[in-house]
Amino acid sequence: MNKVFLVLIIFFNFINIAGAETKRIISGKESAKITIIAYESLTCSHCATFHKDVYPKLKREYIDTGLAKIEFRHFPLDIAALNASKIAQCKSDQSLEILESLFSNQQAWVKGNTVDEINNNLKKFIEKEGFEINFDNCINNKKIEDFVLNDRIEGAKKFKINATPTIIINGEKFEKSLNYKNLKKSLEKMI
């Protein structure tokens, strides 16, 4: 009886993970006039700098005020970034929090000489931060992996992305140097 119950729990947890809709990581109101898409790689130091120096001001002045929303899309540059993207995407009610934590603490987990070492550091970091996810299920989830890789494919095809971070504003690639001053100038013209 206990074995049957255990098998049913495992089966329904698998169905729940496999059947859950993979959602975009978005900050801001759906009805915002300006849509910003940020293609990023979680192992990219320039992306971490964007989250440290640009995103907080952008959030305070445009996202929190309802003028803009930002959609974070995956553009993994290596297998470690792919795995981290799968972790960030795995639990939709915490995805933004996980993404921000991975960028803020990039030096804590992006270290090691092999993918296994980096994955082990990533797993330890996620556990230390208290995110309640099944690491192995997330890393091995084909649906999430396809979702992440499709972001990269779409970015390369539709917007000719070849580096991260790359910003798209209302469907147009932001071509200037990515700093808050330049981004603000472009956004102000759209309000």
- Residue 26 inside a domain? The answer is no
* 44 within 8 A of 165, measured Cβ to Cβ: yes
- Which pLDDT tens digit goes with each residue over 38-87? 999 999 999 999 999 999 999 999 999 999 999 999 999 999 999 999 99
- Residue 137 inside a domain? The answer is yes
- Residue 25 inside a domain? The answer is no
**What burial class does residue 37 get, using C-beta atoms within 10 Å of its C-beta: 0-12 exposed, 13-18 middle, 19+ buried?**
buried
Q: What residue numbers bound the domain in which 75 lies? A: 35-188
Question: Distance between CA atoms of 191 and 167, rounded to whole angstroms?
Answer: 18
pTM: 0.86
Question: Distance between CA atoms of 165 and 61, rounded to whole angstroms?
Answer: 20
- Which pLDDT tens digit goes with each residue over 106-124? 999 999 999 899 999 999 9
Q: How many angstroms separate the most distant Cα atoms in the chain?
A: 66
Helix ranges (DSSP H) in 45-179: 45-49, 55-58, 79-90, 95-104, 106-109, 115-129, 135-139, 142-159
CATH number at residue 167: 3.40.30.10
Structural domains in the chain (count):
1
Q: Beta 34-40 vs 68-74: how paired, if at all?
A: parallel
